Chains A and B, each alone.
Chain A
Amino acid sequence: MLGILASLLDGLLVGAVYGLAAMGITFIWGVMDVVNLTHGAMIVAGMFGVYLLVSAMGIPAYAALLPVLLAGFFAGVALYWIAIHRMIGRPPLMSLLATFAVNLVLIGLGTATWGTVLFNVSVSLPGFSLGRYTFPGTHIMAAVLTAVIAGVLYLFLYRTRAGKAVRAVAANREAAELVGIPTTRILALSCGLGVALAGVSGALISTLFPFTVLSGDAYQLKSFVVTVLGGMGNPTGALVAGIALGLFEGLATPFMPVSWTLVIEFVLFVLVLIAFPGGLISIGRRRPAVR
């Protein structure tokens, strides 16, 4: 029994990080109908950001979060102007391919500079244990920081003018323009925020697991699943769906071979897309799923 409880708790902790990773992609999708295929590469950039800062300047890993967040924001704004600006309003396939192109470039540069060698940010925090099961401090800290970041994002969206502008653009870009919202600037800001979220989730993940330049793909795919479960374009939904997915993995593992959980995850992914286009957990904004 304790084993199942331990797995559930693990699922909750890591599910929160899945949720944070997915928030980046669902945020950009929600605001500008763009599927950001550089998401995986941006997560990896966040990981390497922490590694370089920690090894170069010896600062503790968690202190590197803020600089990575800022760097991610500017990278996001740059990504907007390079790949996404001309794609706004055009069929989603175009932005899909534009971001895919940037992803190719990032992976190419990453492999050329760092190869696919392993990197590890050694962080250890006292955790707590439940019988024979231990919960590393790093996982707990990651979940706590995720909650903090999600809270800050919520406050930004619902308690600030810029947040209101972002939500307006998300709801209807043309209408927002008519009432005087500088949509281009808001779109660039949102893209910056989305990539910053991806970067910071990468930074948190780097404190949990060793990583290579190619670790991004697994997280990108996981983010797709979480985004769809949470309802496309719904950041709070993504966080809750991330936790739900983590709990599912925690719950399923004791009862069946681990390799089958992936089969179920993707079958669930397709079924939810068909049956609940709005996502399983679509709290807050209801968006017409089929446009």
Chain B
Amino acid sequence: MLRRPFFWIIAVTIALFAAAPHGSDVELRESLILAAVYITLASNLNLMLGYAGYVNFGSIVFFGLGGYFCVYFMGSLGWGLASSLVVSGVAVSAAALVFGLGILRLRGVHFALATIGVNEAVMAFVTNFEPWGGSTGIYLSPELFQPLGGPASALWVIYYLLVAIMGASLYLSYFIKRSKFGLGLLSIGQNEDAAAVLGVPAPRYKALAYSASALLPAVAGGLYFFKGAFVQPADAFDLTLSTEAIVITMLGGQGTIVGPALGAYLYEELRGWLLTSETFANFQLVVAGVLLLLIVQFAPEGLMGFLYRRFPRLRRILE
């Protein structure tokens, strides 16, 4: 495992992310925080989309639920950050296991629609759930940043934690892809019926993958909404975010590990630049749309697919 070059490429990426803003460049940190969140969402989505071939359209429900659990534990129950994050992650992946057993009997677009249904149902429920502030959402007071040394240093702590979560997501995708579980997932993705005939326990593997793909996004959601000191249903369960995660995975190249990560970084930089450039400011939706249309039509295998075709030797180094 350690001999493989890609193992070290991930380590270098994490180190770069951690070192890049080196203490002063706050603006770069904020941009990299968004990139790290997108990479986490896309890599974990890839477990379902790229490996098992299941389009989880509503994957943002894990991110949102993680955010709500964590903010609730810290804001209303006064827990520490660490315990809130751990419990949020575990609670959401357990919930994903339960949801999964239900909707994973579906395939193709029916599964995609079901995930949208789950996300919208959870959002509608949270909007009426008073302990979580109902539609007002939950506000966090700045005092909660004190244990981390006040808002300034707290934002740095949150940044490094998010980079760690991003790294964990990349390694999770990497280890799963090289494991027997990963081989089983990939065979399900290729032809689920044939895989079952060969003995791959499809229902259990799909539920496990669905649950695994929920853990880290939930923790990332907890950090993200703790950082924003406010969570409301419309932000936590925003379908456009999970659609963007799909776009990113397709842009980068589904089924690969570096694909979603590269796609996330490029996408975040593009949207960030579009937003702050005068010429495109109010046309950034149009530009993003046209770009995606071209990719889906002419380079469906995404960036990595294109690179693998042009430089086949690359396949041995990058996964």
Q: A: which residues have CB within 8 A of B?
A: 29, 33, 35, 82-83, 86-87, 90, 92-94, 96-98, 100-109, 111-112, 221, 224-225, 228, 232, 257, 259-260, 262-263, 265-267, 269-270, 273-274, 277, 289-291
Task: Tell me which of B112, B128, B285 contacts A107 (CB under 8 A).
Answer: B285
A35 to B103, CA, bound (A): 19
Q: How many A-B residue pairs have CB under 8 A?
A: 130
Distance of A174 from chain B, by nearest CB (Å): 19
Task: Tell me which of A82, A96, A105, A263 contacts B124 (CB under 8 A).
Answer: A263
Task: Tell me which of A35, A93, A109, A262 contacts B286 (CB under 8 A).
Answer: A109
**Contact indicator per residue, chain B 94-136, by CB within 8 Å of chain A (1) or not (0):** 0000000011011111101110111011001101100000000
What 4 pairs across the A-B complex have the smallest Cβ distances? Answer: A104-B289, A108-B285, A108-B286, A266-B121
User: Are B293 and A105 neighbours in the complex by a CB distance under 8 Å?
Assistant: yes
User: Are B108 and A101 neighbours in the complex by a CB distance under 8 Å?
Assistant: no
Which residues of the partner chain B approach A96 to less than 8 Å between Cβ atoms? Answer: 55, 109, 112
Q: At the interface, is chain B mostly helix, strand, loop or mixed?
A: helix
The residue among A35, A93, A102, A260 with the most chain B CB atoms within 10 A of its own CB is A93
Which residues of the partner chain B approach A104 to less than 8 Å between Cβ atoms? Answer: 285-286, 288-289, 292
User: Are A290 and B102 neighbours in the complex by a CB distance under 8 Å?
Assistant: no
User: Are B103 and A273 neighbours in the complex by a CB distance under 8 Å?
Assistant: yes
Task: Output the nearest chain A residue to B284 by Cβ-Cβ distance.
Answer: A108
Which residues of the partner chain B approach A94 to less than 8 Å between Cβ atoms? Answer: 296, 300
Which residues of the partner chain A approach B113 to less than 8 Å between Cβ atoms? Answer: 35, 224, 228, 269, 273
**Contact indicator per residue, chain B 247-271, by CB within 8 Å of chain A (1) or not (0):** 1001000000000000000000000
B13 touches A (CB below 8 Å) = no
Counting chain B residues whose Cβ lies within 8 A of the other chain, the interface size class is 35 or more
Task: Output the nearest chain A residue to B281 by Cβ-Cβ distance.
Answer: A112
User: Are B290 and A269 neighbours in the complex by a CB distance under 8 Å?
Assistant: no
Q: B: which residues have CB within 8 A of A?
A: 49, 55, 102-103, 105-110, 112-114, 116-118, 120-121, 124-125, 127-128, 243, 246-247, 250, 282-293, 296-297, 300
Q: At the interface, is chain A mostly helix, strand, loop or mixed?
A: helix
CB contact under 8 A between A262 and B124, given known A111-B282, A111-B285, A274-B103: yes
The residue among B117, B124, B289 with the most chain A CB atoms within 10 A of its own CB is B117
CB contact under 8 A between A274 and B114, given known A104-B286, A105-B289, A263-B125: yes
Which residues of the partner chain A approach B282 to less than 8 Å between Cβ atoms? Answer: 111-112
The residue among A105, A277, A289 with the most chain B CB atoms within 10 A of its own CB is A105
A92 to B113, CA, bound (A): 12
A248 to B108, CA, bound (A): 28
Which residues of the partner chain B approach A263 to less than 8 Å between Cβ atoms? Answer: 121, 124-125, 128
The residue among A29, A33, A259, A263 with the most chain B CB atoms within 10 A of its own CB is A263
Task: Output the nearest chain B residue to A107 by Cβ-Cβ distance.
Answer: B285
Task: Output the nearest chain A residue to B129 by Cβ-Cβ distance.
Answer: A263
CB contact under 8 A between A274 and B106, given known A83-B293, A98-B297, A263-B121: yes
Distance of B203 from chain A, by nearest CB (Å): 13
User: Are A102 and B125 neighbours in the complex by a CB distance under 8 Å?
Assistant: no
CB contact under 8 A between A259 and B128, given known A107-B285, A266-B120, A291-B108: yes
The residue among B49, B113, B284, B291 with the most chain A CB atoms within 10 A of its own CB is B113
Distance of B244 from chain A, by nearest CB (Å): 10
User: Are B300 and A269 neighbours in the complex by a CB distance under 8 Å?
Assistant: no
Distance of B99 from chain A, by nearest CB (Å): 9
User: Are B296 and A98 neighbours in the complex by a CB distance under 8 Å?
Assistant: yes
User: Are A102 and B293 neighbours in the complex by a CB distance under 8 Å?
Assistant: yes
A255 to B88, CA, bound (A): 35
Distance of A75 from chain B, by nearest CB (Å): 16
A289 to B283, CA, bound (A): 39
Task: Output the nearest chain A residue to B293 by Cβ-Cβ distance.
Answer: A101
**14 additional contacts, CB 8 Å, given A97-B296, A108-B283, A290-B107?**
A92-B112, A101-B289, A101-B292, A102-B289, A105-B285, A108-B289, A112-B282, A260-B124, A267-B117, A270-B121, A277-B110, A289-B110, A290-B108, A291-B107
Task: Tell me which of B107, B124, B291 contacts A259 (CB under 8 A).
Answer: B124
User: Are A273 and B106 neighbours in the complex by a CB distance under 8 Å?
Assistant: yes
User: Are A86 and B297 neighbours in the complex by a CB distance under 8 Å?
Assistant: yes
A265 to B124, CA, bound (A): 10
Which residues of the partner chain A approach B110 to less than 8 Å between Cβ atoms? Answer: 232, 273, 277, 289-290
A154 to B222, CA, bound (A): 51
The residue among B118, B120, B284, B291 with the most chain A CB atoms within 10 A of its own CB is B120
Task: Output the nearest chain A residue to B128 by Cβ-Cβ distance.
Answer: A259
Q: List 24 A-B contacts (CB under 8 A).
A: A33-B109, A94-B296, A97-B247, A98-B293, A98-B296, A98-B297, A100-B243, A101-B296, A102-B289, A104-B285, A104-B288, A107-B285, A108-B283, A108-B287, A112-B283, A260-B128, A262-B127, A266-B120, A269-B120, A270-B114, A270-B118, A273-B110, A273-B113, A290-B110
Task: Tell me which of B108, B124, B125, B243 contacts A92 (CB under 8 A).
Answer: B108
Which residues of the partner chain B approach A273 to less than 8 Å between Cβ atoms? Answer: 103, 106, 110, 113-114, 117
User: Are A105 and B127 neighbours in the complex by a CB distance under 8 Å?
Assistant: no
The residue among B105, B114, B246, B289 with the most chain A CB atoms within 10 A of its own CB is B289
